[in-house]
Amino acid sequence: MQIIKGSRPRPTYPHDPIWYMDFEGHVHNMRDGYLFIADSCDELFSGKHQDKERIFLTFEEPNFCTDADNQHARLAQYADTILTLCPYTTAADTTGKRKQVFIPYPESMIQTDFTKEHDVIYCGHYPQVGFWPKLIESIKKYNYIDIQYARGNHSGCTYRDKILYYAHTKIAIVHNTSPVGTYADRFRAFPNAKNNRAFDWLQVGILPQLKSRTIEAAFNKCIILCLRDSWNVIEQYLEPEKDFIYFDSQSDAEEKIKAILADYHKHVYLAENAYKKVIDKYTVKHFCEKHLT
């Protein structure tokens, strides 16, 4: 299979996992065809790849699932199969071309040293509304790692550095939602939007979007504190109270961080359980064997 990657600028997102998944290392076991990854729509739409099966892999949906002028609305016209993380966009796809998949974790990033030197880690963009700014500010009283594209105390680190920070941190704060911004009407114009549960809360400005931070935390034996939302797609991977803990507010998160750090060994079973589940199911090798052979 030939791997065709998009043009997402690596220097802008140095800790984006897409650059490190090494699908190329597994091509000898894949079926014949083209695998288009992430921002490679232009290549897919170019008409240059008509001789073999065309598989498009996206880690963004339902983000970008807007009206007919958007590239994701046109994927089914060009791809034979669309591999997507979103169960709701898959269920609402009347073309039958979408197939739900999991976030694959690169074997080269699997760690063996989990010495927990740091207390709390947050990675990614957090919403600039509600309790999030205060919650992120509150973790600064701990030995914390804050990896954001423009703000955090470790912004601009490499992907490998990010993984090492996860491996050496006790608690990971995660959420699996994405903001709608000013595009609610454009999401409503996506094909079969009325039957897409991902759009149930457009009026309050959020979408479900499974984030790589959740799986990265599990692979690196962090105790995961996950914001409970209206979809809770994390439960397709992990089980609450056995593999991770939900939080519902700023105060709830702060109380749980304090309790975990006060008696870390009492809670470490959560990290161990999550690690055992993901290491046996969700590597790039597992992904290729399940979806690309």
- Whether residue 159 lies inside any domain: the answer is yes
User: Are 121 and 243 part of one and the same domain?
Assistant: yes
Ranking 10-24, 41-55, 164-178, 265-279 by mean pLDDT, the lowest is 10-24
Q: Which domain holds residue 10?
A: 2-104+283-291
Tell me the two tokens of residue 211: 């984030």
pLDDT band for position 150 (cuts 50, 70, 90): low
Q: What is the SS3 string spanning the chain?
A: CEEEECCCCHHHCCCCHHHHCCHHHHHHHCCCCEEEECCCHHHHHCCCCCCCCEEEEECCCCCCCCCCCCHHHHHHHHCCEEEECCHHHHHCCCCCCEEECCCCECHHHCCCCCCCCEEEEEECCCCCCCCHHHHHHHHHHCCEEEECCCCCCCCCCCHHHHHHHHHCEEEEEECCEEECCCCHHHHHCCCCHHHCHHHCCHHHCEEECCCHHHHHHHHCCCEEEEECCCCCHHHHCCCECCCEEEECCHHHHHHHHHHHHHCHHHHHHHHHHHHHHHHCCCEHHHHHHHHCC
pLDDT digits (tens, 9 = 90+) for 58-112: 999 999 999 978 899 999 999 999 999 999 999 999 999 999 999 999 999 999 9
Q: What pLDDT sits at residue 16?
A: 75
Residue 135 lies in a domain: yes
Same domain, 270 and 128: yes
Percentage of the chain lying above the pLDDT 90 cut: 81
The per-residue pLDDT for 152 is 57
Q: Is residue 150 part of a domain?
A: yes
Q: State how far the Cα of 199 lies from the Cα of 152, in Å rounded to an integer.
A: 30
Is residue 69 domain-shared with residue 112, that is, in the same domain? no
pLDDT band at 14 (very low <50, low <70, confident <90, very high): low
Is the pLDDT at 285 greater than 70, yes or no? yes
Q: Are residues 133 and 170 in the same domain?
A: yes
Average pLDDT over residues 272-276: 98
What's the number of domains the chain is made of? 2
Are 66 and 163 in a shared domain? no
Domain identity same for 96 and 111: no
The pLDDT tens digits for 153-210 are 676 788 899 999 999 999 999 999 999 989 999 999 999 999 999 999 999 999 999 9
